[in-house]
Chains A and B, each alone.
Chain A
Amino acid sequence: MAELPLEGVRVLDLCLVWAGPFATMLLGDLGAEVIKVENPFVFQPMTRGMRARPRKESLLMAPPPGGAWPDGEPGGRPWNYNPVFVQLYRNKKSFTVDLRRPEGMEILARLVAESDAVIENNATGTLERLGITYDWLRGENEKIVMVRLPAYGSTGPYAEARALGVHLESVMGHTLLRGYEDLDPSTLTSIFSGDYLSGALGAFAVMMGVWHCRRTGEGQLVEIGQAEAASSMFAQAFMDYSLNGRVQTTRGNRSVHDVAPYGVYPCQSPGTAETGEDRWIAITITSDAQWQALCEEMGQPDWATASELETQEGRLARQDFLDERLSAWTVNFEDYELFHRLQAAGIPAAPVLEASRVYEDPHVAERGLFAPQTLFDGIGPYTFTAPFFRFPETPVKVRQAPVAFGEHNEYVYKEVIGVSDQEYDRLREAGHIAVEYDRSVP
């Protein structure tokens, strides 16, 4: 069997929350050895949960996904089960070291010397306070590739601004470019679209850095300003301003490329949105032929066969009318029934799927998008998602279930950087090596 595409590439993960860990998940899936560097004395909020030792009641009260635990039981080490963490940490290793102490930094230096890349997405200044800069890394390993994912970049007036995905959305224009046409933007501020893009670009940048280094022997620093990277998701809005000076506003679910009808329509529902049981189908008509096919599926009603609806221009001018009539038709069907029927007629359509229904979808099952995974301490197995890349000759799959805190301490200390058994014991005594957060961490 051939090796994995990134076999032999070692990446240190100094990431937190969402975008950075997504980057390292992709790299781990493709065969890189990703090592998450963790500190028993410092809890990273929003990464392994909100706190290390919250009260059980508050854990159970939190809305899902945060407030969901194996069998409703956060257990003594809830940080190993937190859904936001678990979803991002398959195919990675974890080791612990206290980077606030000089001897912890020495451990990190030895690991840097054995690594190809370091990736991080901390708030600006966090790593600098620990003494971790590109220059420091390069001093330990001149070939190192460092990829940073700051919110706004390391220069300019916003360099120090703290931000979550929701703020980047606002600054980069997305909050005003999406949402309901008839409501103000305060009604919808909870979409975080940038983590996927920044994470994928982070993985791409690591690979390019390694590629470049293997050819030239040269390491480098890559800075991905997440705000700037996000701009490609709003390309049409930027180009419309560039070419026409036009400031676009939201079109709701309608197409930015002027085709109609294009929207989300109600279907027969076993319940309501209050229980996650309302059902919808997305239907997108991108050509006149597809519109004719839809008319046929609807049984050629008079309202639909009117000549003014035969062209895109005609349909674009009557979108409210079309949406109303289509909704009155779709509501008579189950979403999956209509999905297969419309697709058989060549019409792009699909249910807007509530997440748990993914488990019942035959295509998802046949494509192998899930894999059983048992957590470190024998809890499970659960059916979690598997890598979405399909590489037949270098199979990309789940090699390691979502990693527990400090699970690979022995491997990293003894095999990667070669500390002796004696030194290992001493470092454990000194608190660097642990599988739990220190009792001082709340």
Chain B
Amino acid sequence: MTGPLEDVKILDLTEYITGPYATKMFADYGADVLKVERPRGDPARQLGPFPDDTPHPERSGTFFYFNTNKRSIVLDLGHPRGREVLGSLVDRADLVVESFRPGALDQLGVGWDWIRERRADLPLVSISNFGQDGPYRDYKGSELVLFGFGGEMYTMGLPDRAPVKMYGTAALVQSGAAASVAMMAAMMAGREQGIGQHVDFSIFDSQMGSADRRHANLVAWEYAGKRVLRSGALTAGMAHGAHRCVDGWVEFTAAGQRRDRLSNMLGNPDWFEDPKWKAPAAAFDPALVDEFNDRFSAWLATRTKREVFAQAREAKVLCGPLFTVRELFEDEHFRERSFWETVEHAELGTFEMPGRPFVMSASPWELRRPAPLLGEHTREVLGEAGWNNARVEELVVENVVYEAKS
């Protein structure tokens, strides 16, 4: 048993972040994901971080993270024989997924019409920046552009500053998770109802239509014409927002929550028994908030993040320490849950990375293989698709397919 999707074959023509994250979810849960790369490889192989900051196509941390458990075959779709090879892979797939610019597959002669003619029950999922039609079909995207335009970036930040984005490629990963849902639905309709179809997944649509605050803000506008503004930090209350402690910061959401829990966390000090703290609006009274926060700062000044968090947990107060990535790797909770996975890779050596996205009791996650080297499985995959050694040799010589340099 290698996961709930062990009987699934995905033909993966996606690149960069969103598509590869969606297919990583399939690969991680057991599907056989064949990653078809262009001769120079997925452009994500050019993205850092690299060891010692030295770029190398087999040493990209970004590529590695998003391509575990997949196999790589290098195929030149622009070659006259590329279509013949792709066809042999299409015949064995349960789903094809691609992320070229809209229309590119058609130009190569391997678009939806060609696939449908070959296999009426085979779904094709196209992942693109703005979708397969509409006025912005050919517009270019990036994390910042798609999140700024589609997602709820406008309200993130301070009113006197520019809006500020999430980390790295967080929005592209969110959309990748939604794309995996679309793929799963397309595959179920394909396998169980025999329906092939060309599913159009737009990263912009999936940001704009996601229920991550933008929805709620649109509802508010529809009801009452009220705009949601950039308001910065939520600090107007007792033990609310990020506060300094000995070794960093801790985040609290205590104002408006139960006072007795906050009191328990602080060790039920006498000063906090004064009736003035028990008034209904005390937690938001500016003078009282200042007085409270002075005492709170003194309490925090003798405690570390982990000590504060432990006392907050004990008292059921909403709290989270601001951890660095190093602190996370060292954290006992995630160690105890065996969250980290040790991987070995021909070029990157042995290291630890975040492991299973989630735990399934009957069909577990498994790191079966590291991210593939470019063309590492070309020969193996072609063999499975019925190409004998002599014919594979021919394809290699003609530069239709490429193998990993050994």
Report which residue of A215, A240, A243 has the largest number of chain B beta carbons within 10 angstroms of its beta carbon: A243
A364–chain B nearest beta-carbon distance, Å: 7
B320 touching A170 by the CB < 8 A rule? yes
Known contacts A189-B251, A212-B363, A221-B361; A172 and B328 CB within 8 A of each other? yes
Indicate if A219 sits at the interface (CB-CB under 8 A): yes
A5 touching B322 by the CB < 8 A rule? no
A239: contacting residue among B64, B200, B233, CB under 8 A: B64
Tell me which residues across on chain A come within 8 A of B224, comparing CB atoms: 64, 68-72
A356 touching B221 by the CB < 8 A rule? yes
Indicate if B108 sits at the interface (CB-CB under 8 A): no
B336 touching A156 by the CB < 8 A rule? yes
- Of all chain A residues, which has the CB nearest B251? A170
B140 touching A174 by the CB < 8 A rule? no
Interface string of B220-241 (1 = CB under 8 A from A): 1111111111111111000001
B324: contacting residue among A173, A203, A393, CB under 8 A: A173
Indicate if B104 sits at the interface (CB-CB under 8 A): no
A297 to B212, CA, bound (A): 35
A204 touching B229 by the CB < 8 A rule? no
Indicate if A49 sits at the interface (CB-CB under 8 A): no
Q: Give the interface size bracket for B toward A.
A: 35 or more
- Of all chain B residues, which has the CB nearest A198? B177
Tell me which residues across on chain B come within 8 A of A268, comparing CB atoms: none
B208 touching A385 by the CB < 8 A rule? yes
B62 touching A239 by the CB < 8 A rule? yes
A65 touching B251 by the CB < 8 A rule? no
A366 touching B133 by the CB < 8 A rule? yes
Tell me which residues across on chain B come within 8 A of A199, comparing CB atoms: 211
- In B173-221, the 8 Å CB interface with A consists of 173-174, 177-178, 180-182, 184-186, 188-189, 192-193, 195-202, 204-206, 208-221
Indicate if A337 sits at the interface (CB-CB under 8 A): no
A250–chain B nearest beta-carbon distance, Å: 8
B142 touching A286 by the CB < 8 A rule? yes
Indicate if A133 sits at the interface (CB-CB under 8 A): no
B247–chain A nearest beta-carbon distance, Å: 13
Interface string of A49-86 (1 = CB under 8 A from B): 00000000000000111011111100000000101101
A355: contacting residue among B217, B241, B251, B313, CB under 8 A: B217
Where chain A touches its partner, the secondary structure class is mixed
A2: contacting residue among B189, B206, B353, CB under 8 A: B189
Indicate if B144 sits at the interface (CB-CB under 8 A): yes
Known contacts A2-B189, A69-B223; A241 and B320 CB within 8 A of each other? no
Tell me which residues across on chain A come within 8 A of B131, comparing CB atoms: 367, 390
Interface 9-mer from A36-44, A226-234, A419-427: A226-234
Indicate if A352 sits at the interface (CB-CB under 8 A): yes
Indicate if A47 sits at the interface (CB-CB under 8 A): no
A253: contacting residue among B162, B202, B225, CB under 8 A: B162
Indicate if B83 sits at the interface (CB-CB under 8 A): no
Indicate if B334 sits at the interface (CB-CB under 8 A): yes
Tell me which residues across on chain A come within 8 A of B227, comparing CB atoms: 64, 275-276, 354-356
Indicate if B269 sits at the interface (CB-CB under 8 A): no
A341–chain B nearest beta-carbon distance, Å: 12
A229 touching B185 by the CB < 8 A rule? no
Indicate if A218 sits at the interface (CB-CB under 8 A): yes
Indicate if A185 sits at the interface (CB-CB under 8 A): yes
B313: contacting residue among A72, A160, A273, A390, CB under 8 A: A160
Interface 9-mer from B153-161, B383-391, B395-403: B153-161
Indicate if B80 sits at the interface (CB-CB under 8 A): no
Report which residue of A22, A25, A167 has the largest number of chain B beta carbons within 10 angstroms of its beta carbon: A167
B184 touching A166 by the CB < 8 A rule? no
Tell me which residues across on chain B come within 8 A of A204, comparing CB atoms: 25, 177, 180-181, 184
B137–chain A nearest beta-carbon distance, Å: 8
A26 touching B219 by the CB < 8 A rule? no
Indicate if B148 sits at the interface (CB-CB under 8 A): yes
Tell me which residues across on chain A come within 8 A of B25, comparing CB atoms: 201, 204
A177 to B169, CA, bound (A): 12
Indicate if B243 sits at the interface (CB-CB under 8 A): yes
A393 touching B195 by the CB < 8 A rule? yes
A366–chain B nearest beta-carbon distance, Å: 5
Interface string of B25-36 (1 = CB under 8 A from A): 100010000000
B65 touching A390 by the CB < 8 A rule? no
Indicate if A129 sits at the interface (CB-CB under 8 A): no
Tell me which residues across on chain A come within 8 A of B326, comparing CB atoms: 241, 247
Tell me which residues across on chain A come within 8 A of B174, comparing CB atoms: 193, 196-197, 200, 233
Indicate if A305 sits at the interface (CB-CB under 8 A): no
Known contacts A196-B177, A212-B4, A228-B354; A163 and B211 CB within 8 A of each other? no
Number of interface residues of A (CB under 8 A): 163
Indicate if A131 sits at the interface (CB-CB under 8 A): no
Tell me which residues across on chain B come within 8 A of A354, comparing CB atoms: 154, 227
B350–chain A nearest beta-carbon distance, Å: 10
Tell me which residues across on chain A come within 8 A of B86, comparing CB atoms: none
Indicate if B275 sits at the interface (CB-CB under 8 A): no
Interface string of A1-19 (1 = CB under 8 A from B): 0111110000000000010
Tell me which residues across on chain B come within 8 A of A157, comparing CB atoms: 313, 332-333, 336
- Of all chain A residues, which has the CB nearest B188? A5
A236 to B164, CA, bound (A): 18
Indicate if A257 sits at the interface (CB-CB under 8 A): yes
Interface string of A163-193 (1 = CB under 8 A from B): 1101111111111111110011111111111
B211: contacting residue among A22, A211, A390, A392, CB under 8 A: A22
- In A308-362, the 8 Å CB interface with B consists of 343, 346-356, 358-359, 362
A282 touching B149 by the CB < 8 A rule? yes
A256–chain B nearest beta-carbon distance, Å: 4
B360 touching A243 by the CB < 8 A rule? no
B51 touching A190 by the CB < 8 A rule? no
- In A363-388, the 8 Å CB interface with B consists of 363-364, 366-367, 369, 382-388
Interface string of B59-101 (1 = CB under 8 A from A): 1011011100000000000000000000000000000000000
Tell me which residues across on chain B come within 8 A of A253, comparing CB atoms: 144, 162, 164-165
A240: contacting residue among B7, B49, B154, B336, CB under 8 A: B49
A34–chain B nearest beta-carbon distance, Å: 14
Indicate if B141 sits at the interface (CB-CB under 8 A): yes
B361 touching A235 by the CB < 8 A rule? no
- Of all chain B residues, which has the CB nearest A284? B142
B370–chain A nearest beta-carbon distance, Å: 12
A205 to B356, CA, bound (A): 13
Tell me which residues across on chain B come within 8 A of A63, comparing CB atoms: 228, 231
A196 to B175, CA, bound (A): 9
Known contacts A247-B325, A247-B326; A388 and B135 CB within 8 A of each other? no
Known contacts A233-B168, A384-B218; A68 and B223 CB within 8 A of each other? yes
A87 touching B215 by the CB < 8 A rule? yes
Known contacts A235-B62, A389-B199; A68 and B320 CB within 8 A of each other? no
A163 to B317, CA, bound (A): 9
Tell me which residues across on chain A come within 8 A of B59, comparing CB atoms: 243
A47 to B14, CA, bound (A): 37
Report which residue of B50, B224, B326 has the largest number of chain A beta carbons within 10 angstroms of its beta carbon: B224
Indicate if A242 sits at the interface (CB-CB under 8 A): yes
Given A196-B210, A252-B164, list of 7 further CB < 8 A pairs? A86-B219, A156-B336, A221-B360, A223-B358, A239-B64, A350-B146, A355-B227
10 contacts between A and B (CB under 8 A): A63-B231, A68-B221, A156-B334, A169-B251, A186-B243, A187-B232, A354-B227, A355-B155, A391-B186, A393-B195
The 4 closest A-B pairs by CB, nearest first: A167-B320, A239-B61, A388-B209, A276-B227
